[in-house]
């Protein structure tokens, strides 16, 4: 179903973007960091629906065309990436400075240090926040219906305008989102448990 | 490799932190196989000195040579130089998300590009050297302070450094755990592993150090064989310092 497709595609790319932006803001030089901060500022500042409308309705005026589906994916990636990058940035900064010193003392380069030592610890700490954002994404994916994507809410509205049974139709729609969100919620709990390092949380 | 080959040479190191001149012209040499200990009151610049030597911090002035090659300003090669220096931190700084075994083997894999099996075997061997082979699969949070520090030593040793730096390795340990770490350090000293140790452990210095360098106000105030510096110093500051430490030791033994 389209909602699930939207989520399954937007989430991994959004997380990748979040990690890139978070790392850029902590480790990047002035210009890189400025660009990353601006991106985050814009897409956290604009309402998601406005972002979607700009991509789908406004960009064609400058010759850039995306289908409803891909406009939605792009919009969601930018919004969730921006929000999640704040969790990533905060958790990178919370990794003890000593971890960095030890990595450097062993002769690791900065990229090696970031990939093998900092991010594994930072991302574990950011997981609760990131999983929260992803659950929100599942819910605000309903906005995609306003740019013509036939996802759950969009289908529900169409149905309702034909059948006029709002209680059954919208309750069902709500329950479908809730079901997806619950599956993810449980999934994240299991993931957190599996990634848990003895004592790492206690250290925080 | 001739005996008496200079492994580390330091010349006129200076470093200022927030208006404070922490290092005010430090110079010395360490030959292969020598164990040198740095003592002194807190704030005398001891830790800053070590971190300037492997460039975790950059000195404002002065030069450092490792095995005859200057390393002070070589940005590209600084990682190569660091591979040759084993650094043991006061706060251990073990990688929390990795087992003891992985802590020791990770740099072998990513920095030295060793194959996973080779790295694993070498890591186990080094852990055996510090008597921790049985705890290889434990995570840092499951280890005592003394065990953590020994893993840290194994991690540094695995890179086969030409010199070891110990930055107050036992200062963060509970008293009953200090012994196991000092024993490992003594064993390594007896194997003639060139070492520079910043410590308050006078007993250790007395038994294995070739020379003690006493630091105060960012300078080396006195240097010489342990007995000379501890018992026969001509500097009042140095005399006071060791007298105080001896008093503390005597109180504990009484």
Report ipTM for this prediction: 0.88
Q: Provide the residue-wise pLDDT of chain B in tens; the chain has 254 residues.
A: 445 688 899 999 899 888 888 888 999 999 999 999 998 887 778 888 888 888 888 888 888 888 888 888 766 678 888 899 999 999 999 999 999 999 999 999 999 999 999 999 999 999 999 999 999 999 999 999 999 999 999 999 999 999 999 999 998 999 889 999 999 999 999 999 999 999 988 888 888 999 999 998 888 989 999 988 888 888 888 888 888 887 776 665 54
pLDDT given for residue A204 in this prediction: 41
pLDDT given for residue B75 in this prediction: 60
Q: Please list the residues that pair with B29 across neighbouring strands.
A: B9
pLDDT band at A74 (very low <50, low <70, confident <90, very high): very high
Flag if B142 and A203 touch (Cβ within 8 Å). no
Of B162, B160, B50, the C-alpha closest to B112 is: B160
3-state secondary structure of B211: strand
Find the mean pLDDT for residues A51-70. Answer: 92
Q: Which of chain A's residues have a Cβ under 8 Å away from the Cβ of B106?
A: 116
Q: Which two tokens stand for residue B14?
A: 């200076």
pLDDT given for residue A89 in this prediction: 95
DSSP symbol at B12 = E
In a domain, A97, yes or no: yes
Q: Which two tokens stand for residue B58?
A: 């950059």
In a domain, A117, yes or no: yes
Flag if B91 and A98 touch (Cβ within 8 Å). yes
- Distance between A108 CA and the closest CA of chain B, angstroms: 6
Q: Which two tokens stand for residue A193?
A: 């448990």
Q: Which residues of B touch A (CB under 8 A)?
A: 54, 56, 79-80, 82-83, 85, 87, 89, 91-97, 106-107, 110-111, 139-142, 152, 155-156, 159
DSSP symbol at B56 = S
Helices (H), B25-91: 46-53, 78-83
Q: Is B20 left (phi over 0), alpha (psi -120 to 50) or beta?
A: beta
Report in angstroms the alpha-carbon separations of B1 from A198, B35, B195, B210: 45, 18, 17, 20
Q: Are A76 and A7 in contact (CB under 8 A)?
A: no
Range of the domain at A84: 2-195
Q: Which residue of A has its CA nearest to B95?
A: A99
Helices (H), B75-140: 78-83, 100-110, 116-129
Residues 6+ apart with CB under 8 A from A181: A135, A138, A139
Report in angstroms the alpha-carbon separations of A171 from A6, A194, B54, B101: 21, 34, 65, 54
Q: Which of chain B's residues have a Cβ under 8 Å away from the Cβ of A120?
A: 97
Q: Which of chain A's residues have a Cβ under 8 Å away from the Cβ of B142?
A: 198-199
- Nearest CB to B110; choose among A105, A108, A200: A108
In a domain, A116, yes or no: yes
Q: Mean pLDDT across chain A, nearest whole number? A: 92
pLDDT in tens, A115-171: 999 999 999 999 999 999 999 999 999 999 999 999 999 999 999 999 888 999 999
Q: Which residue of A has its CA nearest to B54?
A: A105
Q: What are phi and psi of B42, to 5 degrees?
A: -60, 145
Does any CB of chain B come closer than 8 Å to the CB of residue A106? yes
pLDDT given for residue B250 in this prediction: 67
Of B7, B145, B155, the C-alpha closest to B68 is: B7
Flag if A197 and B111 touch (Cβ within 8 Å). no
Flag if A197 and B139 touch (Cβ within 8 Å). yes
In a domain, A133, yes or no: yes
- Nearest CB to A106; choose among B82, B92, B142: B82
What number of other Cβ atoms are within 10 A of residue A157's Cβ? Answer: 17
Flag if A120 and B142 touch (Cβ within 8 Å). no
- Nearest CB to A101; choose among B93, B142, B155: B93
Q: Which of chain A's residues have a Cβ under 8 Å away from the Cβ of B155?
A: 106
Number of domains forming the structure of chain A: 1
Distance CA B30, CA B38 (A): 12
- Nearest CB to B93; choose among A99, A109, A200: A99
Q: Which two tokens stand for residue B140?
A: 């840092």
Does any CB of chain B come closer than 8 Å to the CB of residue A104? yes
In a domain, A26, yes or no: yes
Q: What residue has token string 């492997």?
A: B54
Flag if B107 and A98 touch (Cβ within 8 Å). no
What number of other Cβ atoms are within 10 A of residue A20's Cβ? Answer: 16
Q: What are phi and psi of A125, to 5 degrees?
A: -70, -35
pLDDT given for residue A56 in this prediction: 94
Burial classification of residue B9, based on how many CB atoms lie within 10 Å of its CB (0-12 exposed, 13-18 middle, 19 or more buried): middle
Pairing label, strands B6-17, B61-66: antiparallel
Q: Which residue of B has its CA nearest to A96?
A: B93
Does any CB of chain B come closer than 8 Å to the CB of residue A1? no
In a domain, A108, yes or no: yes
- Distance between A119 CA and the closest CA of chain B, angstroms: 10
pLDDT given for residue A202 in this prediction: 46
- What CATH code is carried by the domain that includes residue A122? 1.10.3720.10
In a domain, A161, yes or no: yes
In a domain, A53, yes or no: yes
Angle at which helices A2-27 and A68-94 cross, to 10°: 40
Q: What are phi and psi of B66, to 5 degrees?
A: -115, 120
Give the mutation candidate from B108, B110, B164 for the A interface (greatest A CB count, under 10 A): B110
pLDDT given for residue B248 in this prediction: 75
pLDDT given for residue A201 in this prediction: 61
List domains and CATH numbers for chain B.
1-84+164-228 (3.40.50.300), 94-160 (no CATH)
Chain A segment 166-185 residues within 8 A of B by beta carbon are none
Distance CA B131, CA B135 (A): 9
Q: Which of chain A's residues have a Cβ under 8 Å away from the Cβ of B87?
A: 102, 105-106
Q: Which of chain A's residues have a Cβ under 8 Å away from the Cβ of B93?
A: 96, 98-99, 101-102
Residues 6+ apart with CB under 8 A from B104: B123, B126, B127, B151, B154, B155, B158
Q: Which of chain A's residues have a Cβ under 8 Å away from the Cβ of B85?
A: 105
- Distance between A190 CA and the closest CA of chain B, angstroms: 18
Find the mean pLDDT for residues A42-56. Answer: 95
Q: What are phi and psi of B88, to 5 degrees?
A: -115, 120
Q: Which two tokens stand for residue A160?
A: 């309702």
Give yes or no for residue A69 having a pLDDT over 90.
Answer: yes
Q: What are phi and psi of A153, to 5 degrees?
A: -65, -40
Cα dihedral A108→B161→B224→B186 (10° resolution) = 110
Helix (H) or strand (E) holding B26: strand B20-31
């Amino acid at each position: 179903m389209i909602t699930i497709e939207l989520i399954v595609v937007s989430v991994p790319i959004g997380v990748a973007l979040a990690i890139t932006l978070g790392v850029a803001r902590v480790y990047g030089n002035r210009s890189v960091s400025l660009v990353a901060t601006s991106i985050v500022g814009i897409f956290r500042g604009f309402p998601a629906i406005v972002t979607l409308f700009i991509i789908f309705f406004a960009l064609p005026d400058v010759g850039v065309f995306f289908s409803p589906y891909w406009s939605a994916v792009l919009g969601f990636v930018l919004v969730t990436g921006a929000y999640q990058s704040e969790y990533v940035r905060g958790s990178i900064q919370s990794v003890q400075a000593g971890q960095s010193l030890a990595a450097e003392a062993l002769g690791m380069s900065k990229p090696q240090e970031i990939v093998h030592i900092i991010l594994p610890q930072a991302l574990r700490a950011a997981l609760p926040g990131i999983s929260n954002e992803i659950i929100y994404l599942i819910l605000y994916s309903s906005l995609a219906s306003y740019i013509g994507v036939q996802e759950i809410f969009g289908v529900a509205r169409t149905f309702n305008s034909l059948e006029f049974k709002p209680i059954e139709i919208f309750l069902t729609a709500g329950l479908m989102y809730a079901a997806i969100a619950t599956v993810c919620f449980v999934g994240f709990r299991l993931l957190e448990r599996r990634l848990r390092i003895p004592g790492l949380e206690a250290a925080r | 490799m001739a005996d008496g080959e200079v492994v580390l040479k330091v010349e006129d190191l200076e470093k200022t932190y927030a208006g404070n001149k922490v290092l005010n012209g430090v110079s010395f040499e360490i030959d292969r196989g020598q164990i040198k200990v740095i003592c002194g009151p807190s704030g005398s610049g001891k830790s800053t000195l070590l971190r300037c030597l492997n460039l975790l911090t950059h000195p404002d002035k002065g030069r450092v040579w490792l095995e005859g090659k200057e390393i002070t300003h070589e940005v590209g090669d600084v990682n190569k130089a660091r591979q040759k220096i084993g650094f043991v931190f006061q706060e251990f700084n073990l990688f929390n998300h990795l087992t003891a075994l992985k802590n020791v083997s990770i740099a072998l894999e990513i920095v030295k590009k060793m194959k996973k099996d080779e790295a694993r075997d070498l890591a186990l061997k080094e852990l055996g050297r510090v008597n921790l082979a049985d705890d290889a699969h434990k995570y840092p949070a499951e280890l005592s302070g003394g065990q953590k520090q020994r893993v840290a030593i194994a991690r540094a040793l695995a890179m086969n450094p030409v010199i070891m730096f110990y930055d107050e390795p036992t200062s963060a340990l509970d008293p009953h755990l200090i012994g196991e770490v000092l024993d490992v350090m003594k064993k390594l000293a007896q194997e003639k592993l060139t070492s520079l140790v910043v410590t308050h452990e006078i007993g250790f210095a007395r038994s294995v150090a070739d020379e003690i360098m006493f630091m105060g106000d960012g300078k080396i105030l006195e240097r010489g064989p342990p007995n000379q510096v501890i018992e026969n110093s001509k500097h009042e500051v140095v005399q006071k310092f060791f007298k105080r430490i001896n008093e503390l030791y005597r109180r504990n033994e009484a």
